[in-house]
Structure 1
Amino acid sequence: MDEAYRQACLYASELNREFPSKINPCELVIASDGKFLYAGNIDTNKPDYKIAFADWNNTNVNFDKFLKAFNYENLEQNAKSIKNKLRTDAKFKNPINLLGGKKIRNLESSNTFGENISIQYRHLFNPNIENEKKEIVENAYVKINKVESHINPIDKILRKKVFNDDGTLINDFNNPIEITSKFSNPRTLNNQVLLLIGSVGSGKSTFTTYLKEVALEAEIKEKTYWINLNLNDAPLNKEEIYNWTKTSILNNIKSVHNKTNFKSLEFIQELYKEEITEIKDGPLALLDKDSEKYKELLVERIFKLQDDQDLTLRKVIFKLINQKEKT
């Protein structure tokens, strides 16, 4: 502690050397190791106060004197005195100059509260998982009705310019009948595209989840199977995008049907039943079913079926979705 206090005094003296003669902003020094507190003025060899941790309370006479010597009021008064010695009486009328130089004024302030909120509650502000989106649309979806009369003529011009009058405006996001009416017979929507257009951050993804979870009638929800693909994770070259899409759809279906063992032989045989029957009744009929050659060729054929991404995707959709009367 003696060495720590001595070094603190040396640091204070070095800092004071940066200022004009006889002006010493650093006058008081504190050193502590958690067990003892040493404090005093830098112009003495020994600290004025050596107080053990057990005496760190204002009922102790020595600690009370330390508090009075090192309290905020004394420090502030001392700082103002030194400030007056260093600065002139000039006063600035433009408040921005009080901030400092150009570099200081251009510094970007940090909103630590906002940063913490955005990280801890990211699932609310930017939900990625479908369950998170579902909670938002069910409990915190902001419903906006288009009631402003001045928007109509502007919309008319934009629609004609952008969509050539082919687009359909959603007037009430709470009851988007312009879209829900399209789902009256889901089976007619096979291989059809419905394009939802809106600016960045306007809530297209959230609206889609709202449409699925809230706006659509329960009967339609029972007849449809929804898959979400996050295109932010998609590859940028056209050679890979199709494989990525098929793989993503398969993974999505597997995650929903997590109780199904997709790797089991029973499931594989059921999935490729027609193709396996075709080879069994065809070329493999020439071989003994118990022979190694028969089994080897059958396994080889199954591997090729699994490698066929288009076939596998089609089979999985048919077995787990279409057979359950869903589109």
Structure 2
Amino acid sequence: MNPVSEGATEGDVETQILMPLLTRTELLAIPINEIKSKEGISARDLGKGTKRKVGYIPDFCIYKQSLPILVIEAKSPSSDVFAAYGEARLYATEINRSFPAGTNPCCRIIATNGITLAAGHWDADPTISGKVESLSAGTSTFDALSALLGNDALSRLATQFNDVLRSKSFKRPFNQGAGPSQIASRIEPNTFAADLAPVLRRYFSSRDQSTDEEIYSRAYISSNEITSYDRILESYLKDRLSKAKRRIEVRTTKRKSDAITKTISTFDENRPAAGDIQLVTGGVGVGKSLFARRYKEYLQPEPLRDKNHWAFLNFNNAPEDYHNWDNWVCEAFAKSVIAEGAPVNLRDPIDQERVFSSDLQDRKAFYDRMEASQAGRGGLEKARDLEAWRLDPLILTRGISRYLQGDRAENLIVVFDNVDRRETEAQLAAFQVALWFMDQTKCLVILQMRDSTFEAFKHKPPLDTYRTGQIFHISPPRFVDVVKKRLELSLEVLAAEAPEHVKFETRSGAHISYPKSRAGEFLKGIYVELFQRPNNLSRVLEALAGRNVRRALDMFMAIITSGHMPEEIIVGVAQGNGFRSFPEYRILRALMRQDYRFFNNNSGFIANIFNCDSRWNRPSNTLLSEILFYLISVRKVRGDNGQMGFVALPRLLAHLEGLGFVRSDILDAARFCLLKELIEVETSSLDTLRERDSVKATASGWAHMRLLSSRIEYLSAVLPTTPMDDKTLAARVFDLMQVENRAGQIHFHQAVNMVERFEKYLRKQETSLLSFPGYADAKQSGAKYIVTKVQEALTFARKEDARVSGQGDLLDF
């Protein structure tokens, strides 16, 4: 390498000598993302007395597996390179001081003034020193330097130190003896709900109910019936989208929806030669399909009703390969438009000729020639063509649309339904197909798209073609509104259909008979308990459901039917004693376990935020908390992709690596959060996370951190499936699991005692994180926060009348 000139600056040394030396593949070949500059390095005070240096930061530091391995100091040519080496050694000493005795990861030093270079170990004078000009591949000086601190050498060192720091005894407490079979065992639904299940499932099912007349006619929630969220939940659950004038919120009453009617009326009056397309955005499960069906059946004004012909193309049924959607769309259209009542009968020869009249006219000269050459030949050719056209999806689609909109001068409206339930690339492909279909048919296409997809890609192809079109947006109703409406409907049906007396037998063998009106009292009592009492249950439920109405319905059904619901309360209602309030933990237990005896990673609607994997480079029960804490803290900030709260994955990785976590572990933990819907990704995928994506915390992620982590029921329930490296604690958790398996439950004081031990275990993990410079410098962190919440749960449990301090929670701001 060429040395710098005598008049060079420290910056020149960094750019001309150090960075090429560190990063070029023929030299040290260290990846650029492992090199931290001053902005990302922790400051340390060095020396003593008059030589004390406050807040010293080296120029660069190499991090491997989030461990500081190599300290680098650059000076100008006029500076003493060995003095710079000494400063870097002192810094490494301060860093190593925070790690356990005998573990000194910050073990290599390099310093240069652009002319001379010194390198060696953290606790000794330089073992390599020489002129910069001698640092060329193949020289003895460079070979020695590469062996000391080349990329491969540093990686080996990092692995050795990581093996020392890494706990090797992480184990899930249930994973011994009969634990695996117990954790997978199920319980029967409560016997009360068994007789009522058919009626309840009719109205609280998450299956597609957009074609169920009772639902879209009587259970649809109009705009004026939607209530407001509280301040915190609103920041997660209320759509925060573009304020552009062309975005119109769809408002409905029981009789009309003016915005959609205006669009269809304009289409009817103007008959655009190229057709038209209308986007309807909203989150998954907010009711876009239900709205489209309700509008078609109930909200169309009479003059349009007689002229409009509808087709609904359910993209849940579309092939996985969206490159072949053209043919499927045409097939689905032809079936649906006839099923929805279009005056077309393809089995009728006269109707066939009406549909293909234009094609027949184009071939008339041919038929005449065939008929002239041989009697009946023209009719035969015509019949063959008609059958071929009937079997060709595209020709049939064109024929039907031409007949309805041309010959009959009526309107064709085609709903691309459930597009929003596909991943981003498929949604964009559906938009492209919609443009093609519109061109082929000249119809009005109504396409449902996820709001986040539109916001992320509205300026990119193919959505940039929709620059001037208005966007209709449908906001989701609240959990409380959905349940109330469905509950009212189910109570009516129970009153009409249930036997006058309902009979059931409790697990204890008691035979109970009660009038059907009491069933309604129980259902209404649960509703009051969940949504009208001054507690946090409704916030938990709203947050877990998010903006997904289908998930909300599943949750309420799970609560009602769960075998974890106390039958003595049901018996009390049945015997006319009224509805007694029951503890919050009963609801949490039903939500966490559903029909499983114990909580596990596949049960219920709640996730384990202390989960980790023993195969990680450095397993930690606080990593998920760190991810969620950071994302929640920036939820009100304009994100890296332009949308509120979204953080680019590289930025999240850099932040957590700075706290001492390993990149591959962070990625795996983030994927777990995505699968459990604690975070969401901009692509709308539920299971795929790429390093170029941006993510944000969901309301469910907030509820897990803010509310559930301070509940003894939650903490004690997740422990059997929580990997931990404390054998004594794991044994205690397993013992109590056996007690619960035999007796059906453990005593509250046993659960509290177990959580007390877990809190001490978490504090040890938090203390171990202080070894890492970035974590030690952090004023706030997920680990610190989650330990505080566990302590809050214990404080409340020890004193039943205690109340949490009125001081605002960090995650509420």
Deviation at 1:218, TM superposition (A): 2.1
Deviation at 1:246, TM superposition (A): 0.7
Identify the match of residue 170 of structure 1 among 250, 254, 261.
250
Q: Which letter does structure 2 place at the counterpart of 1:218? A: E
SS of the residue aligned with 2:279? coil
What are the equivalent positions in structure 2 for 1:255-274 lying under 5 Å apart? 255-257=339-341, 261-274=345-358
Deviation at 1:270, TM superposition (A): 3.4
Partner of 2:289: 205
Asked whether 1:135 is paired with 2:217, we answer no
**What is the TM-score with the length of structure 2 in the denominator?**
0.24
Deviation at 1:235, TM superposition (A): 0.6
SS of the residue aligned with 1:227? strand
Deviates more, 1:309-318 or 1:279-288: 279-288
User: Counterparts of 1:128 and 1:277 in 2: how far apart (Å)?
Assistant: 43
Q: Is the 8 A contact 1:127 1:133 kept in 2?
A: no
User: Counterparts of 2:382 and 2:400 in 1: how far apart (Å)?
Assistant: 21
Partner of 1:228: 312
Asked whether 1:246 is paired with 2:246, we answer no
Q: Is the 8 A contact 1:133 1:206 kept in 2?
A: no
Asked whether 1:111 is paired with 2:195, we answer no
Asked whether 1:159 is paired with 2:241, we answer yes
Deviation at 1:251, TM superposition (A): 0.8
1:161-203 Cα shifts (integer Å, max 9, x gaps): xx75642223556554343332333324753222222222222
Kindly indicate whether structure 1 or structure 2 has the higher relative contact order, using CA contacts under 8 Å at least 6 residues apart: 2
User: Counterparts of 2:314 and 2:239 in 1: how far apart (Å)?
Assistant: 32
Partner of 2:264: 183
1:110-160 Cα shifts (integer Å, max 9, x gaps): 436768866677664356576x43332222323343564977x96998123
Q: Is the 8 A contact 2:389 2:395 kept in 1?
A: yes
Q: Is the 8 A contact 2:367 2:382 kept in 1?
A: no
User: Counterparts of 2:372 and 2:239 in 1: how far apart (Å)?
Assistant: 75
Q: Is the 8 A contact 1:223 1:326 kept in 2?
A: yes
User: Counterparts of 2:399 and 2:179 in 1: how far apart (Å)?
Assistant: 69
User: Counterparts of 2:195 and 2:306 in 1: how far apart (Å)?
Assistant: 39
Identify the match of residue 359 of structure 2 among 275, 280, 283.
275
Partner of 1:237: 321
Deviation at 1:106, TM superposition (A): 7.4
In the comparison of the two structures, how many residue pairs are matched? 225
User: Counterparts of 1:291 and 1:297 in 2: how far apart (Å)?
Assistant: 12
Measured at CA, do residues 315 and 232 of structure 1 come closer, stay the same or move farther in structure 2, by a change above 3 Å? same
Partner of 2:159: none
SS of the residue aligned with 2:311? coil
User: Counterparts of 1:306 and 1:184 in 2: how far apart (Å)?
Assistant: 31
User: Counterparts of 2:408 and 2:354 in 1: how far apart (Å)?
Assistant: 15
What are the equivalent positions in structure 2 for 1:1-327 lying under 5 Å apart? 104=182, 107=185, 109-111=187-189, 124=203, 125=205, 128=208, 132-145=211-224, 148=228, 158-160=240-242, 166-170=246-250, 174=254, 176-187=257-268, 188=270, 191-257=275-341, 261-282=345-366, 284-285=368-369, 287-288=371-372, 290-291=374-375, 293-320=377-404, 322-327=406-411
Q: Is the 8 A contact 2:209 2:290 kept in 1?
A: no
Q: Which has the larger radius of gyration?
A: 1
Deviates more, 1:295-304 or 1:219-228: 295-304
Deviation at 1:217, TM superposition (A): 1.9
1:218-260 Cα shifts (integer Å, max 9, x gaps): 2222232221121111112133311111111111133345986
User: Counterparts of 1:140 and 1:206 in 2: how far apart (Å)?
Assistant: 10
Partner of 2:692: none
Measured at CA, do residues 126 and 267 of structure 1 come closer, stay the same or move farther in structure 2, by a change above 3 Å? same
**What is the TM-score with the length of structure 1 in the denominator?**
0.53
SS of the residue aligned with 1:196? strand
Deviation at 1:294, TM superposition (A): 4.0
Measured at CA, do residues 210 and 263 of structure 1 come closer, stay the same or move farther in structure 2, by a change above 3 Å? closer
Q: Which letter does structure 2 place at the counterpart of 1:301? A: D
Structure 2 runs not aligned, ≥5 long:
1-177, 412-813
Q: Is the 8 A contact 1:289 1:295 kept in 2?
A: no
Measured at CA, do residues 166 and 212 of structure 1 come closer, stay the same or move farther in structure 2, by a change above 3 Å? same
RMSD: 4.2
Measured at CA, do residues 178 and 254 of structure 1 come closer, stay the same or move farther in structure 2, by a change above 3 Å? closer
More helix by share: 1
Deviates more, 1:268-277 or 1:248-257: 268-277
SS of the residue aligned with 1:263? coil
Measured at CA, do residues 192 and 268 of structure 1 come closer, stay the same or move farther in structure 2, by a change above 3 Å? closer
User: Counterparts of 1:149 and 1:121 in 2: how far apart (Å)?
Assistant: 26
More strand by share: 2
